[in-house]
Amino acid sequence: MRYAELSTIKESIQQAVRKSALGNRVRDISLEADHDNYGSDFLRVRLDLDSFDGLSDESMLAVITSIEDSVIELDERYPSVRFSDAA
Amino acid sequence: MTSYDEDLLAAAGRLVARRKGQRGKLAGARIRRSLSTSYYAMFHFLVEDCCVRLLGSSADLRRRRRVLARSFTHSGIRAALDKVKGAYVDQSLEDFLRSTTAPTGRVPSPAFVQNVAKTFSDALAKRHDADYDMNKPLSEADERLVRARVKLAIAGWRSANGAADRDFKTALCMLMLLKGQLRKEN
Protein backbone atom coordinates (compact mmCIF):
# COMPACT_ATOMS: atom_id res chain seq x y z
CA MET A 1 0.00 0.00 0.00
CA ARG A 2 1.17 3.51 -0.78
CA TYR A 3 0.89 5.58 2.40
CA ALA A 4 2.17 9.12 2.91
CA GLU A 5 2.92 10.97 6.13
CA LEU A 6 -0.19 12.62 7.57
CA SER A 7 1.66 15.94 7.66
CA THR A 8 2.31 15.70 3.91
CA ILE A 9 -1.32 14.85 3.23
CA LYS A 10 -2.51 17.73 5.41
CA GLU A 11 -0.32 20.19 3.51
CA SER A 12 -1.82 18.95 0.25
CA ILE A 13 -5.34 19.40 1.66
CA GLN A 14 -4.49 22.92 2.84
CA GLN A 15 -3.31 23.81 -0.65
CA ALA A 16 -6.48 22.42 -2.24
CA VAL A 17 -8.63 24.36 0.24
CA ARG A 18 -6.72 27.61 -0.29
CA LYS A 19 -7.44 27.44 -4.03
CA SER A 20 -11.13 26.66 -3.46
CA ALA A 21 -14.32 28.63 -2.96
CA LEU A 22 -13.94 28.07 0.78
CA GLY A 23 -10.86 30.30 0.73
CA ASN A 24 -10.29 31.81 4.16
CA ARG A 25 -13.52 30.53 5.72
CA VAL A 26 -11.68 27.46 7.04
CA ARG A 27 -10.63 27.85 10.67
CA ASP A 28 -9.12 24.43 11.07
CA ILE A 29 -8.44 21.19 9.24
CA SER A 30 -8.16 17.94 11.15
CA LEU A 31 -6.99 14.66 9.71
CA GLU A 32 -7.00 11.18 11.19
CA ALA A 33 -6.42 7.69 9.87
CA ASP A 34 -8.95 4.99 10.69
CA HIS A 35 -10.27 1.71 9.38
CA ASP A 36 -13.81 0.55 8.80
CA ASN A 37 -15.67 -2.62 9.75
CA TYR A 38 -14.46 -4.29 6.56
CA GLY A 39 -10.80 -3.83 7.52
CA SER A 40 -10.02 -1.08 5.04
CA ASP A 41 -8.02 1.98 5.99
CA PHE A 42 -9.35 5.44 5.21
CA LEU A 43 -8.67 9.03 6.18
CA ARG A 44 -11.16 11.20 7.98
CA VAL A 45 -10.77 14.87 6.99
CA ARG A 46 -12.76 17.47 8.91
CA LEU A 47 -13.06 21.10 7.86
CA ASP A 48 -14.18 23.67 10.43
CA LEU A 49 -15.76 26.66 8.71
CA ASP A 50 -16.58 30.09 10.09
CA SER A 51 -19.79 30.12 8.13
CA PHE A 52 -21.71 28.34 5.38
CA ASP A 53 -23.41 31.60 4.30
CA GLY A 54 -23.48 31.99 0.54
CA LEU A 55 -21.80 28.64 -0.10
CA SER A 56 -23.62 26.46 -2.59
CA ASP A 57 -23.67 22.68 -2.42
CA GLU A 58 -21.95 22.67 -5.82
CA SER A 59 -19.01 24.68 -4.51
CA MET A 60 -18.71 22.43 -1.44
CA LEU A 61 -18.83 19.29 -3.58
CA ALA A 62 -16.11 20.82 -5.77
CA VAL A 63 -13.92 21.29 -2.69
CA ILE A 64 -14.49 17.68 -1.64
CA THR A 65 -13.49 16.46 -5.11
CA SER A 66 -10.46 18.71 -5.17
CA ILE A 67 -9.26 17.36 -1.81
CA GLU A 68 -9.91 13.78 -2.92
CA ASP A 69 -7.92 14.25 -6.12
CA SER A 70 -4.99 15.82 -4.30
CA VAL A 71 -4.84 13.03 -1.69
CA ILE A 72 -5.36 10.17 -4.15
CA GLU A 73 -2.10 11.23 -5.85
CA LEU A 74 -0.21 10.75 -2.58
CA ASP A 75 -1.90 7.96 -0.69
CA GLU A 76 -4.11 4.95 -1.37
CA ARG A 77 -6.37 5.57 1.60
CA TYR A 78 -9.65 7.22 0.66
CA PRO A 79 -10.01 10.73 2.17
CA SER A 80 -13.56 11.14 3.50
CA VAL A 81 -14.15 14.90 3.80
CA ARG A 82 -16.59 16.19 6.41
CA PHE A 83 -17.76 19.64 7.51
CA SER A 84 -18.31 20.65 11.11
CA ASP A 85 -21.44 22.55 11.96
CA ALA A 86 -20.56 26.23 11.51
CA ALA A 87 -20.02 28.24 14.67
CA MET B 1 -42.62 3.59 -11.39
CA THR B 2 -39.63 4.75 -9.36
CA SER B 3 -36.57 2.59 -8.87
CA TYR B 4 -35.45 1.31 -5.48
CA ASP B 5 -32.53 3.74 -5.30
CA GLU B 6 -34.86 6.65 -6.05
CA ASP B 7 -37.22 5.49 -3.30
CA LEU B 8 -34.31 5.27 -0.86
CA LEU B 9 -33.06 8.75 -1.74
CA ALA B 10 -36.58 10.13 -1.32
CA ALA B 11 -36.79 8.43 2.08
CA ALA B 12 -33.40 9.91 3.03
CA GLY B 13 -34.69 13.38 2.13
CA ARG B 14 -37.87 12.92 4.18
CA LEU B 15 -35.81 11.95 7.23
CA VAL B 16 -34.21 15.41 7.33
CA ALA B 17 -37.10 17.48 5.97
CA ARG B 18 -38.07 20.33 8.31
CA ARG B 19 -41.64 21.22 9.06
CA LYS B 20 -42.69 24.67 7.92
CA GLY B 21 -41.06 27.21 10.21
CA GLN B 22 -38.96 24.61 12.03
CA ARG B 23 -35.53 25.95 13.03
CA GLY B 24 -32.53 24.76 14.99
CA LYS B 25 -30.39 21.67 14.76
CA LEU B 26 -31.88 18.43 13.53
CA ALA B 27 -31.67 15.40 15.79
CA GLY B 28 -28.48 13.45 15.17
CA ALA B 29 -30.44 10.25 14.65
CA ARG B 30 -32.23 11.78 11.66
CA ILE B 31 -28.94 12.88 10.08
CA ARG B 32 -27.34 9.48 10.67
CA ARG B 33 -30.32 7.48 9.39
CA SER B 34 -30.54 9.67 6.31
CA LEU B 35 -26.84 9.31 5.56
CA SER B 36 -27.01 5.57 5.91
CA THR B 37 -30.05 5.44 3.62
CA SER B 38 -28.27 7.48 0.93
CA TYR B 39 -25.36 5.03 1.05
CA TYR B 40 -27.76 2.13 0.56
CA ALA B 41 -29.29 3.92 -2.44
CA MET B 42 -25.82 3.92 -4.03
CA PHE B 43 -25.16 0.31 -3.04
CA HIS B 44 -28.48 -1.07 -4.30
CA PHE B 45 -28.29 0.96 -7.50
CA LEU B 46 -24.94 -0.59 -8.39
CA VAL B 47 -26.03 -4.11 -7.45
CA GLU B 48 -29.26 -3.88 -9.46
CA ASP B 49 -27.57 -2.32 -12.47
CA CYS B 50 -24.83 -4.96 -12.43
CA CYS B 51 -27.31 -7.83 -12.18
CA VAL B 52 -29.18 -6.51 -15.23
CA ARG B 53 -25.93 -6.09 -17.17
CA LEU B 54 -24.65 -9.53 -16.27
CA LEU B 55 -27.90 -11.52 -16.57
CA GLY B 56 -30.24 -9.44 -18.73
CA SER B 57 -33.33 -7.40 -17.95
CA SER B 58 -36.07 -9.94 -18.70
CA ALA B 59 -38.80 -10.04 -16.07
CA ASP B 60 -38.49 -13.84 -16.16
CA LEU B 61 -34.99 -13.51 -14.75
CA ARG B 62 -35.90 -11.36 -11.76
CA ARG B 63 -35.51 -14.22 -9.31
CA ARG B 64 -32.11 -15.12 -10.75
CA ARG B 65 -30.99 -11.48 -10.54
CA ARG B 66 -32.03 -11.35 -6.89
CA VAL B 67 -30.05 -14.51 -6.14
CA LEU B 68 -26.99 -13.03 -7.84
CA ALA B 69 -27.48 -9.74 -5.98
CA ARG B 70 -26.78 -11.57 -2.71
CA SER B 71 -23.24 -12.29 -3.92
CA PHE B 72 -22.27 -8.60 -4.06
CA THR B 73 -20.70 -7.27 -0.87
CA HIS B 74 -19.96 -3.78 0.41
CA SER B 75 -16.25 -4.47 0.73
CA GLY B 76 -16.12 -6.25 -2.63
CA ILE B 77 -17.67 -3.34 -4.49
CA ARG B 78 -15.39 -0.90 -2.70
CA ALA B 79 -12.31 -3.02 -3.51
CA ALA B 80 -13.21 -3.00 -7.20
CA LEU B 81 -14.04 0.70 -7.29
CA ASP B 82 -10.83 1.58 -5.44
CA LYS B 83 -8.95 0.40 -8.51
CA VAL B 84 -10.74 2.80 -10.86
CA LYS B 85 -11.02 5.90 -8.67
CA GLY B 86 -7.98 7.65 -10.15
CA ALA B 87 -7.41 9.14 -13.58
CA TYR B 88 -6.09 5.76 -14.76
CA VAL B 89 -7.23 2.29 -13.74
CA ASP B 90 -4.97 0.23 -11.51
CA GLN B 91 -2.28 -1.43 -13.58
CA SER B 92 -3.40 -4.90 -12.44
CA LEU B 93 -6.68 -4.35 -14.34
CA GLU B 94 -5.43 -2.78 -17.55
CA ASP B 95 -5.79 -5.88 -19.71
CA PHE B 96 -9.26 -6.59 -18.32
CA LEU B 97 -10.64 -3.06 -18.68
CA ARG B 98 -8.93 -2.00 -21.90
CA SER B 99 -11.35 -1.24 -24.70
CA THR B 100 -10.96 -3.34 -27.84
CA THR B 101 -10.51 -0.13 -29.83
CA ALA B 102 -8.15 1.63 -27.41
CA PRO B 103 -4.43 1.90 -28.06
CA THR B 104 -1.87 0.34 -25.80
CA GLY B 105 -0.63 2.18 -22.71
CA ARG B 106 -2.36 3.33 -19.56
CA VAL B 107 -6.13 2.81 -19.46
CA PRO B 108 -8.03 5.94 -18.41
CA SER B 109 -10.90 5.60 -15.98
CA PRO B 110 -13.98 7.37 -17.39
CA ALA B 111 -15.02 10.47 -15.42
CA PHE B 112 -18.42 9.00 -14.53
CA VAL B 113 -16.69 5.90 -13.13
CA GLN B 114 -14.25 7.96 -11.06
CA ASN B 115 -17.24 9.85 -9.70
CA VAL B 116 -19.11 6.68 -8.75
CA ALA B 117 -15.96 5.23 -7.16
CA LYS B 118 -15.28 8.29 -5.00
CA THR B 119 -18.93 8.72 -4.08
CA PHE B 120 -19.23 5.08 -3.02
CA SER B 121 -16.13 5.29 -0.79
CA ASP B 122 -17.28 8.59 0.69
CA ALA B 123 -20.79 7.35 1.43
CA LEU B 124 -19.48 4.06 2.85
CA ALA B 125 -17.01 5.79 5.20
CA LYS B 126 -19.71 8.16 6.47
CA ARG B 127 -22.26 5.38 6.75
CA HIS B 128 -19.73 3.49 8.88
CA ASP B 129 -19.56 6.43 11.30
CA ALA B 130 -23.31 7.06 11.10
CA ASP B 131 -24.18 3.49 12.03
CA TYR B 132 -21.34 2.43 14.32
CA ASP B 133 -19.41 5.34 15.80
CA MET B 134 -21.41 7.90 17.73
CA ASN B 135 -18.17 9.63 18.73
CA LYS B 136 -17.69 10.82 15.17
CA PRO B 137 -19.84 13.87 14.50
CA LEU B 138 -21.75 14.18 11.25
CA SER B 139 -23.27 17.49 10.26
CA GLU B 140 -26.35 18.44 8.28
CA ALA B 141 -23.98 19.53 5.50
CA ASP B 142 -22.38 16.06 5.47
CA GLU B 143 -25.80 14.44 5.08
CA ARG B 144 -26.99 16.88 2.40
CA LEU B 145 -23.78 16.62 0.37
CA VAL B 146 -23.69 12.81 0.41
CA ARG B 147 -27.33 12.67 -0.73
CA ALA B 148 -26.64 15.18 -3.52
CA ARG B 149 -23.47 13.36 -4.51
CA VAL B 150 -25.15 9.97 -4.68
CA LYS B 151 -27.88 11.42 -6.91
CA LEU B 152 -25.29 12.94 -9.26
CA ALA B 153 -23.16 9.79 -9.39
CA ILE B 154 -26.16 7.59 -10.22
CA ALA B 155 -27.35 10.04 -12.88
CA GLY B 156 -23.85 10.12 -14.41
CA TRP B 157 -23.66 6.34 -14.55
CA ARG B 158 -27.15 6.08 -16.08
CA SER B 159 -26.45 8.67 -18.76
CA ALA B 160 -23.13 7.17 -19.90
CA ASN B 161 -24.43 4.99 -22.70
CA GLY B 162 -21.86 5.05 -25.47
CA ALA B 163 -20.54 1.68 -26.63
CA ALA B 164 -17.23 2.17 -24.75
CA ASP B 165 -19.09 3.24 -21.60
CA ARG B 166 -21.36 0.20 -21.69
CA ASP B 167 -18.38 -2.08 -22.26
CA PHE B 168 -16.49 -0.55 -19.32
CA LYS B 169 -19.52 -0.78 -17.02
CA THR B 170 -20.08 -4.46 -17.80
CA ALA B 171 -16.43 -5.33 -17.14
CA LEU B 172 -16.47 -3.27 -13.93
CA CYS B 173 -19.67 -5.02 -12.79
CA MET B 174 -17.94 -8.35 -13.23
CA LEU B 175 -15.04 -7.02 -11.21
CA MET B 176 -17.37 -5.86 -8.42
CA LEU B 177 -18.84 -9.35 -8.28
CA LEU B 178 -15.29 -10.74 -8.08
CA LYS B 179 -14.54 -8.33 -5.19
CA GLY B 180 -11.93 -6.49 -7.22
CA GLN B 181 -9.67 -9.49 -7.68
CA LEU B 182 -8.69 -11.22 -10.90
CA ARG B 183 -6.71 -14.43 -10.82
CA LYS B 184 -3.05 -13.70 -11.39
CA GLU B 185 -1.23 -15.54 -14.14
CA ASN B 186 1.71 -17.69 -13.08
Who among B122, B132, B152 is closest to A80 (CB)? Answer: B122
pLDDT mean over B122-133:
95
pLDDT tens digits along B89-112: 999 999 999 987 777 889 999 999
Give the whole-angstrom CA distance, residue A62 versus residue B21: 30
CA nearest to B26 within chain A: A85
Least confident of B121-130, B139-148, B159-168, B175-184: B175-184
Tell which phi-psi region holds residue A54, choosing left (phi > 0), alpha (psi between -120 and 50) or beta: left
| Averaged pLDDT, A8-22 | 93
Q: Cβ of A64 and B145 within 8 Å?
A: yes
- Asked if the Cβ–Cβ distance from B136 to A44 is below 8 Å, we say yes
From B55's Cα to the closest Cα of chain A, the distance in A is 28
Domain count, chain B: 1
Q: How far apart are CA B43 and CA B131, in angstroms?
A: 15
Question: Does the CB of B128 have a partner CB in chain A at under 8 Å?
Answer: yes
Give the residue-averaged pLDDT of B152-178.
97
Query: 3-state class of B100 per DSSP?
Result: coil
> What's the pLDDT band for B185 if we cut at 50, 70, 90?
low
Q: Does B13 touch chain A (CB under 8 A)?
A: no
Residue in chain A nearest B117 by alpha carbon: A78
Q: What percentage of chain A has pLDDT greater than the value 90?
A: 72
**Is the model's pLDDT at B116 over the cut of 90?**
yes
Q: pLDDT band for B186, please (50, 70, 90 cuts).
A: very low
Q: Which residues of A touch B90 (CB under 8 A)?
A: none
Query: Each residue of B31-73: pLDDT tens digit?
Result: 999 999 999 999 999 999 999 999 999 999 999 999 999 999 9
Instruction: Say whether A60 and B145 touch across the interface (CB within 8 A).
Output: yes
The distance of A53 to chain B (nearest Cα, Å) reads 12
**Around Cβ B169, how many Cβ atoms within 10 Å?**
21
DSSP chain A: -----HHHHHHHHHHHHHTSTTGGGEEEEEEEEEE-TTS-EEEEEEEEES--TT--HHHHHHHHHHHHHHHHTT-SSEEEEEEPPP-
Domain ranges of chain A: 6-83
So what's the pLDDT on residue B87? 93
Chain-wide mean pLDDT for chain B?
A: 94
Residues of chain B with Cβ-Cβ distance to A21 below 8 Å are none
For chain B, give the percent of residues with pLDDT over 90: 89
What does the pLDDT read at residue B125? 95
Residue A66 to residue B92: CA distance in whole angstroms:
26
| Range of the structural domain that residue B153 is part of | 4-16+25-177
Nearest CA in chain A to B141: A83
Band (A6; pLDDT cuts 50, 70, 90): very high
pTM, full prediction = 0.94
pLDDT digits (tens, 9 = 90+) for A30-62: 999 998 888 889 999 999 998 888 889 999 999
Residue B17 pLDDT more than 60? yes
- Which residues does residue A79 pair with via DSSP β-bridges, in sequence order? A43
| Complex ipTM over 0.90 | yes
Could you give the dihedral angle defined by the CA atoms of residues A57, A60, A64 and A67, in that order, rounded to the nearest 10 degrees?
Answer: 160
Q: What is the pLDDT, as a whole number, of residue A86?
A: 65
Residue of A nearest to B133 (CA): A36
pLDDT of residue A10 exceeding 50: yes
Sequence-distant (6+) residues with CB within 8 A of B99 are: B107, B164, B167, B168
- CATH number at A6-83: 3.30.70.1350
Supply the pLDDT for residue A36.
Answer: 84
